Amino acid sequence: MTLQRPTAQVTVDGQALSLPEGAIAGMRVELGFGPAHDRAVLALWAGSVLADVAPGTPVAIALGFGDDRTDVFSGAVEAVDAVPGGVVVEALAATAELSYARVAQAYLQQTIADIVRDLVAQGGGSEGDIDAPSTLYAYHVDERRPVWTHLVELARLASCDLSSDASGAVCFRAPRTGPVDRELRHGAELLTWRIGARRRLPDPVPVVPHGAASEAGASGWHLLLRTPDGNSPSGPSVVHAAVRDRDLAQALDDGRRAARDRAAAGGELVITGDPSLRPGSLVSVTDLPTGDPDDQRVLAVAHVVDATRGFVTLLRTEAAA
């Protein structure tokens, strides 16, 4: 295995700098699913040319080894703090703008994907990979909450992951399945690990429809069901105002159960730096002395670059679908 020299490029307000050029002592780039936004924290030496950067300034970060770098973050400076010996700059991904935007809109007979695209556009964001084909009979967005909060609610409703890509565009899609993106081998990429089974949670409370679209036809979506679960008296159930037919209720119920099943295993991994991994990636962990676990789905990524560890990537995982 060839050891390579980690490199990073930080572009601030159009000016591209390496770590030495920017007097950057270290950085941490945190990527995850909503409701949190992706975040980058830069630790600067005193006298850095970036020390006087202003909040709101655009920031982009690329990480890698040698001349091979991959974009991992794009956003804007959120805070600049003086600390002993230097300055700490914190930036949030471009999706953070959606936490400031507020929209009032009503949607009738539109797919969740179309609603998400419209909200992102009205909030001034950019559209990434968005795929949610389920149709909502009626969905209302009000100005009491920011656009990002509505997107978080829609993600729960559609059993989708809400995140951003390296350019800061909004991604909204179901958890991935299929072959793994990366094999993490003990003695090679895998540096340390803590991974295993978790206590299995009980079955979630069933989701039942709010309206009678399945019983009275599409035109009857607004009619309320006296006993949505079909039992008399009704048992414990989740009734979401936007879920008007049994197909959508079943899809939401299936998504909640799938999330429960994925949470039955997982852990934390530290690997040699890999800028290609993002939340939602699938990985396999192999050659462990105690045996190999099942494939894992990445929930959160933290890329760390500093003088002590070089470039390492920290992963928080759950069982793959």
pLDDT tens across 172-215, in order? 999 999 999 999 999 999 999 999 999 998 888 888 877 665 56
Residue type present at position 12: V
Distance CA 95, CA 124 (A): 9
Q: Where are the beta strands (DSSP E) in the chain?
A: 6-12, 15-18, 24-31, 39-45, 58-65, 68-83, 86-93, 105-111, 127-130, 135-141, 161-164, 170-173, 182-185, 190-197, 207-208, 238-239, 265-272, 282-286, 296-306, 310-319
For residues 81-98, average pLDDT: 98
| CATH superfamily, domain at 182-198+264-319 | Bacteriophage T4, Gp27, baseplate hub, domain 3 (2.40.30.150)
> Under the phi-then-psi rule, with left for phi > 0, alpha for psi from -120 to 50, and beta for the rest, what region is 47?
left
How far apart, in Å, do the first and last CA atoms of the chain sit? 31
Q: List pLDDT tens digits, range 237-277.
A: 777 778 878 888 889 999 999 999 999 999 999 999 999 99
Return the CATH fold of 6-94. Phage tail proteins - horseshoe like beta roll fold (2.30.300)
More confident residue, 117 or 205: 117
Cis peptide before 228 (omega within 30 of 0): no
Please give the structure tokens belonging to residue 125.
Answer: 């964001």
Domain boundaries, the chain: 6-94, 100-173, 182-198+264-319, 207-260
Tokens of 7: 């490199």
User: What are the backbone angles phi and psi of residue 231, rounded to the nearest 5°?
Assistant: -105, 155
* Token pair listed for 36: 């949190």
**pLDDT (average), residues 19-29:** 97
Position 233, amino acid:
P
DSSP 202: P
CATH architecture of the domain 100-173 equals 3-Layer(bab) Sandwich (3.55)
Those residues with Cβ within 8 angstroms of residue 131's Cβ, 6 or more apart along the chain or in another chain: 113, 172, 173, 174
Same fold, 6-94 and 182-198+264-319: no
The residues with which 90 forms a beta bridge, in sequence order, are 41, 79
Token pair, residue 154, equals 């829609």
Q: What pairing do the DSSP bridges indicate for beta strands 296-306 and 24-31?
A: antiparallel
pTM for the full predicted model: 0.91
Q: Which amino acid is at 244?
A: R
Check: CB of residue 319 under 8 Å from CB of residue 266: yes
Residue 49 has pLDDT above 90, yes or no: yes
